[in-house]
């Protein structure tokens, strides 16, 4: 066994430990709170144009959050946030096509419940 092998193993373990730490969740939790608020406001009659504007803003923020989580080694929460981002895009499509987004809103709420970072 080469002498460098224990050093490589130690470096790999240290790297894995540093990635397993949760990132600062304040931005993500704020974004998820804004998604929940959007769902509530939409139920209270928020105009389709206002919904689309807020969805577009959240899509950008949540995409960045998902990538950050993935880079930090939190694949589960990163995937859940990416799922929320996709669902927001589906919601926007439903609004554009004048369809009821109720099913999409339920998918979003379910995906938010899967994000442990803000649990």
Asked whether the whole model's pTM tops 0.85, one would answer no
Which residue from 47, 29, 19, 10 is spatially nearest to 84, judged by alpha carbons? 29
The confidence band for 119, taking pLDDT boundaries of 50, 70 and 90, is low
Residue 62, Ramachandran bin (φ over 0: left; ψ between -120 and 50: alpha; else beta): alpha
DSSP string for residues in 33-75: HHHHHHHHHHHTT--HHHHHHHHHHHHHHHHHHHHHHHHTT-H
> How far apart (Å, rounded) are the C-alpha atoms in residues 76 and 91?
23
- Residue spans per domain, the chain: 24-118
Q: How far is CA 28 from CA 11, 37, 51, in A?
A: 30, 14, 20
Q: Please state, as a whole number, how many other Cβ atoms lie within 10 Å of the Cβ of residue 108.
A: 24
For 12-49, the pLDDT digits (tens) are 444 444 444 445 578 899 999 999 999 999 999 999 99
For 41-81, the pLDDT digits (tens) are 999 999 999 999 999 999 999 999 999 998 988 899 999 99
């Amino acid at each position: 066994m080469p002498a460098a092998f224990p050093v490589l193993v130690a470096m790999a373990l240290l790297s894995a430990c540093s990635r397993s730490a949760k990132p600062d969740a304040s931005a993500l939790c704020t974004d998820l709170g804004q998604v929940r608020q959007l769902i509530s406001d939409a139920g209270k009659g928020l105009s389709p144009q206002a919904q689309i504007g807020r969805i577009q803003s959240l899509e950008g923020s949540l995409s960045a959050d998902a990538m950050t989580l993935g880079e930090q080694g939190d694949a589960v929460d990163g995937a859940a946030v990416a799922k929320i981002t996709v669902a927001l895009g589906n919601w926007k499509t439903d609004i554009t096509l004048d369809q009821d987004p109720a099913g999409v809103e339920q998918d979003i709420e379910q995906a938010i419940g899967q994000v442990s970072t803000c649990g």
